């Protein structure tokens, strides 16, 4: 790739594709690329680096991993139609999310307990997100104080993912801290009142919070400090008890309902001065419609990457139906199963406006800390930039339903419009095939 390409100075976004050349050139200077970012090999290397507990928590899924498998199978049935002789020299990978112009429609998904992957926890992740101008979403189960993560993220766009306690004063404190720390949207996760049944974690008693690890976000909260004092728990002398009390307020096993949502939306809007509120975990059309009705500014179509409900619908399959129902009424984001640029493109083509990536950067963090996160996400940006170049897309807006093949489904029933509605039929095997991807 020509590093002196004059078009790179005219583009509105950086020439991320040059990261490919940078890695090709390294052997000439006695260097090697940091590590292989092919998802399977990335996962294998992370497994070598992590403790057993870290590996189990990062890789485990609900039940027999059938939802996780379905997420990947759903991507396989959609095929991209490349377009030739398109002038992509000034292609623009950027998009806008909640008023922030960002490098690409890709963000760092909220993932908790980062200290089990790297001692620095969320800090290196937030740092890289800022460098790359990609949105960062902090989990309530994060292992660093909200304020410290914000400082690392600097001027980067950042959102706060809420696991909602049943202690309203604590919820208000968390949201207030997030707002004061520059988090500009609240995303409530609705599918994790408690963790799904994950065999490996349960078989090894693998719950970091109960070991006194990763509860700093909660232990630094002024309201929660009061709760600890009332309970007679000293977090310094009793880290396991303090960690357990925190996470039992977060993954408490007591469901919230739609009736609580007006209070939460009103509370966040008052605290933040009207900033966006979203729901994460939506899989059904009815829930998507209800989210619109109660005033959500956006939804994340997600099944928690298959970690909560086994045997559930693939998140990508849910996306199609939800976009058809409410795509023109709210900002739709996608999460679950993304492994590369073509997956990002397929989610965009099916109607998502933005895509969250999780396990990829977790593997990078596990392998090489900040440098690992940087390598993984720069590689993904390069992959996406190259995809747009060679597939013939000048900007993100052009990646729509026409980008995917429309194959006649011989087994469908209904009108001609129905028959041509999908790339390939949902023909997933009755016998599950094991796949680490």
354-357 and 106-108 as β-strands: parallel, antiparallel, unpaired?
parallel
Task: Decide: 347 and 355 in contact? Cβ < 8 Å.
Answer: yes
Of all helices (H) and strands (E), which one includes residue 30? none
CA 437 – CA 428 distance, rounded (Å):
16
Question: Pick from 210, 208, 209, 189: which is nearest to 139 by CA?
Answer: 189
- For the annotated catalytic residues, the residue numbers are 304
Give, in order, the Cα–Cα distances in Å from 191 to each of 206, 280, 282, 301.
20, 8, 8, 11
Inter-residue long-range contacts of 144-147, CB under 8 Å, 24+ positions, other chains counted: 144/114, 144/115, 144/216, 144/217, 145/216, 145/217, 145/220, 146/174, 146/177, 146/178, 146/181, 146/183, 146/217, 146/220, 147/177, 147/181, 147/220
Q: How many Å separate Cα 279 from the centre of its chain? A: 13
Give, in order, the Cα–Cα distances in Å from 142 to each of 26, 59, 259, 264, 427.
35, 17, 27, 21, 38
Strand partners, 158: 136
Contacts of 123 (CB under 8 A, 6+ apart): 144, 148, 149, 152
């Amino acid at each position: 790739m020509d590093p002196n390409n004059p078009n790179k100075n005219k583009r509105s976004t950086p020439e991320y594709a040059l990261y490919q050349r940078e890695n090709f050139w390294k052997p000439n200077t006695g260097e090697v690329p940091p590590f292989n970012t092919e998802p399977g090999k990335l996962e294998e290397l992370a497994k070598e680096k992590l403790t057993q507990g870290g590996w189990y928590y990062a890789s485990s899924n609900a039940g027999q991993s059938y939802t996780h498998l379905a997420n990947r199978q759903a991507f396989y049935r959609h095929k991209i139609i490349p377009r030739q002789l398109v002038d992509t020299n000034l292609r623009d990978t950027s998009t806008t999310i909640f008023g922030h112009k960002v490098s690409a429609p890709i963000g760092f998904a909220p993932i908790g307990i980062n200290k089990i992957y790297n001692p620095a926890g969320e800090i290196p992740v937030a740092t890289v997100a800022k460098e790359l101008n990609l949105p960062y979403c902090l989990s309530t189960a994060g292992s660093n104080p909200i304020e410290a993560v914000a400082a690392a993220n600097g001027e980067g766009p950042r959102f706060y993912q809420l696991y909602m306690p049943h202690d309203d004063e604590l919820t208000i404190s968390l949201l207030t801290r997030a707002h004061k720390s520059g988090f500009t949207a609240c995303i409530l996760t609705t599918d994790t009142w408690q963790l799904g049944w994950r065999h490996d974690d349960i078989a090894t008693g693998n719950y970091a919070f109960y070991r006194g690890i990763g509860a700093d976000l909660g232990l630094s909260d002024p309201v929660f400090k009061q709760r600890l004092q009332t309970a007679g728990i000293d977090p310094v002398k009793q880290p396991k008890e303090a960690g357990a009390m925190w996470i039992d307020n977060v993954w408490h096993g007591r469901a919230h309902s739609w009736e609580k949502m007006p209070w939460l939306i009103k509370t966040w809007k008052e605290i933040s001065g009207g900033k966006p509120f979203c729901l994460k975990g939506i899989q059904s059309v009815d829930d998507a419609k209800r989210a619109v009705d109660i005033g959500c500014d956006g939804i994340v179509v997600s099944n928690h990457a298959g970690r909560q409900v086994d045997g559930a619908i693939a998140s990508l399959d849910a996306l199609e139906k939800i976009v058809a129902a409410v795509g023109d009424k709210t900002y739709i984001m996608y999460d679950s199963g993304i492994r590369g640029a073509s997956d990002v493109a397929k989610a965009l083509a099916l109607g998502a406006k933005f895509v969250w990536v999780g396990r990829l950067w977790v593997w990078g963090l596990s392998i090489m800390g900040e440098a690992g996160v940087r390598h993984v996400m720069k590689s993904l940006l390069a992959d996406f930039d190259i995809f747009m170049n060679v597939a013939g897309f000048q900007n993100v807006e052009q990646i729509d339903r026409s980008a995917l093949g429309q194959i006649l489904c011989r087994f469908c029933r209904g009108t001609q419009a129905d028959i041509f509605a999908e790339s390939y039929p949902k023909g997933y095997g009755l016998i599950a095939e094991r796949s680490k991807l």
